[in-house]
């Protein structure tokens, strides 16, 4: 089904939505507000396909994810299922096995991914806000490409219970909205400790809307020298420099910082994320979830045929890569080494955050490519994740906020914060939003 021009929704039940709207308690903070949901987050009695043939038309969620329950408690209505790269693996939503999503802000271009449906639905004014998931940039990058706001909270701030796991040590649920203050409001309701997620943090939730208007005055903001190299399109570089100047003119101090292990981030992520994915996706075996391949005489062929038919090429690539790096004989050389480099990347950020309150960076090296332009070039796609994956490897919160477009194509500024300090990045983002 294609509801609305961007092809953002995979499914949508208008009768259910209207019935829920009739019952909505508008005295609640999000009373009656529809929030679109990425199709890898479980909503009771709704399909959850992860944009994969293995789950298409065969799986209905028996429960609400904690993030959904919390939104419902605040009065919101989860509305429809939004397209994504299959199992959230990709950066363009072109790896959806079910549907193409267009970029409403840039016709003919990808919406970004993997939460491409979530960003396109908000950018196309179909809904005021949506939920996405971010394992290596999947909230921030589509938000940047579609010209909306996308927030990846600190790892553990928002419960992952009910999010279909991709890379469990990297995944976070977060909001995609039109404004920074809407992101702050949603984060208020999404945050909090959940005993059902063992990595959920038991940390108080501030009112994130309280501090967003404090301005940038007095903040120390870091510009990582390693991010401003040849790989960054010159106009994008210029936009980030203009944003830095704008923060400076509002009283922030801009400092050059170094994140020396940046060059290893892509390789590290593309070992750890597929390793975790290969383990997480082993549950899709044709027995417990989803579709089952016919004519499979024994258990091994049942698994093999089901996965061969059910998974698309990108998901297979990740499972093969992940299985390889975890296999005996290669584990030390790849997986263990990647974990050690992950620690070095985390230490880079810890050192930088001794000097600065927030880091600003590009989200993507370039604006959104055209549909089909890089979908057959996995290496090019992997490399384009360079600026977003570090915050997942380290767990730091990060937001994308729109800057002035380049040739009518949206641009996002990324602001990365200290652990659990979403308040400062929201505050900087608000300053940028008001400046543009």
The residues annotated as belonging to the active site are 38, 114, 138
- Size of interface with ligand GLN, in residues (CB under 6 A): 13
Distance CA 409, CA 405 (A): 5
Distance CA 203, CA 419 (A): 11
> Nearest approach, Cβ of 134 to ligand GLN (angstroms)?
5
Beta-sheet strand order (sheet of 9-11): 9-11, 77-82, 34-38, 129-134, 172-177, 149-152, 398-406, 409-417, 358-362, 220-224, 253-257
Handedness of CA 137, 157, 221, 255 (dihedral sign): negative
Closer residue to ligand GLN in complex, CB, 273/401: 273
In angstroms, how far is the first alpha carbon of the chain from the final one?
36
Q: Which of 6, 111, 116, 137 binds ligand GLN (CB under 6 A)?
A: 137
Binding of ligand GLN at residue 90 (CB under 6 A)?
yes
Handedness of CA 384, 223, 410, 190 (dihedral sign): positive
Binding of ligand GLN at residue 135 (CB under 6 A)?
yes
Distances (CA, A) of 106 to 206, 224, 407: 36, 29, 10
Closer residue to ligand GLN in complex, CB, 213/282: 282
The answer to whether residues 355 and 292 touch, using CB atoms and an 8 Å cutoff, is: no
Binding of ligand GLN at residue 91 (CB under 6 A)?
yes
Binding of ligand GLN at residue 88 (CB under 6 A)?
yes
> Nearest approach, Cβ of 389 to ligand GLN (angstroms)?
7
Q: Residues 259-288 vs ligand GLN: string with x where CB under 6 A?
A: --------------x---------------
> Nearest approach, Cβ of 315 to ligand GLN (angstroms)?
10
> Nearest approach, Cβ of 145 to ligand GLN (angstroms)?
12
Distance CA 188, CA 170 (A): 21
Distance CA 234, CA 366 (A): 9
The answer to whether residues 88 and 50 touch, using CB atoms and an 8 Å cutoff, is: yes
Binding of ligand GLN at residue 390 (CB under 6 A)?
no
> Nearest approach, Cβ of 211 to ligand GLN (angstroms)?
27
Binding of ligand GLN at residue 119 (CB under 6 A)?
no
Q: Which stretch binds ligand GLN (CB under 6 A): 5-13, 118-126, 130-138, 143-151?
A: 130-138
Q: Which of 96, 138, 291, 400 binds ligand GLN (CB under 6 A)?
A: 138
Binding of ligand GLN at residue 136 (CB under 6 A)?
yes
The dihedrals phi and psi of 400, each to the nearest 5 degrees, come to: -115, 130
- Which stretches of the chain bind ligand GLN, using CB under 6 A? 88-91, 114, 134-138, 166, 273, 385
């Amino acid at each position: 089904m294609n509801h609305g021009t961007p092809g953002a929704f995979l499914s949508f039940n208008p009768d259910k939505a209207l019935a829920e709207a009739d019952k909505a308690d508008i005295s609640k903070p999000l009373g009656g507000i529809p929030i679109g949901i990425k199709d890898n987050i479980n909503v009771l009695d709704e399909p959850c396909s992860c944009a994969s043939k293995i789950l298409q038309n065969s799986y209905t969620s028996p429960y609400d994810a904690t993030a959904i329950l919390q939104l419902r408690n605040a009065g919101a209505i989860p509305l429809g299922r939004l397209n994504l790269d299959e199992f959230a693996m990709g950066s363009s939503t072109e790896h959806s096995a079910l549907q193409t999503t267009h970029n409403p802000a840039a016709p003919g271009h990808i919406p970004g991914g993997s939460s491409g449906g979530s960003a396109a639905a908000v950018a196309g004014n179909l809904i005021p806000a949506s939920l996405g998931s971010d394992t290596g940039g999947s909230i921030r990058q589509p938000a940047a490409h579609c010209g909306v706001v996308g927030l990846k909270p600190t790892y553990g701030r928002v419960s992952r219970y009910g999010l279909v796991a991709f890379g469990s040590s990297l995944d976070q649920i977060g909001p995609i909205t039109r404004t920074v203050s809407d992101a702050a409001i949603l984060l208020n309701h999404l945050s909090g400790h959940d005993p059902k997620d063992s990595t959920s943090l038991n940390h108080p939730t501030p009112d994130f809307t309280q501090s967003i208007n404090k301005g940038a005055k007095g903040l120390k903001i870091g510009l990582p020298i390693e991010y401003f190299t040849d790989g960054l399109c010159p106009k994008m570089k210029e936009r980030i420099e203009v944003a830095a100047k704008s923060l400076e003119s509002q009283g922030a101090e801009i400092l050059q910082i170094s994140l020396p292990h940046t060059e290893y981030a892509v390789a590290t992520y593309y070992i750890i994320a597929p390793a975790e994915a290969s383990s997480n996706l082993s549950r899709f075996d044709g027995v417990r979830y989803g579709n089952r391949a016919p004519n499979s005489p024994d258990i091994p062929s049942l698994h093999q045929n089901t996965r061969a038919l059910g998974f698309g090429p990108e998901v297979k690539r990740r499972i093969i890569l992940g299985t390889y790096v975890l296999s005996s004989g290669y584990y030390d050389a790849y997986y263990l080494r990647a974990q050690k480099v992950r620690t070095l990347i985390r230490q880079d950020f810890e050192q930088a955050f001794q000097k600065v309150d927030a880091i600003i960076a590009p989200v993507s090296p370039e604006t959104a490519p055209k549909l089909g332009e890089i979908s057959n070039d996995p290496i090019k796609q992997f490399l384009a994740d360079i600026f977003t994956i570090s915050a997942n490897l380290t767990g730091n919160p990060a937001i994308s906020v729109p800057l002035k477009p380049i040739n009518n194509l949206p641009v996002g500024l990324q602001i990365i914060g200290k652990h659990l300090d979403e308040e400062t990045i929201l505050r900087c983002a608000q300053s940028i939003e008001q400046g543009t």
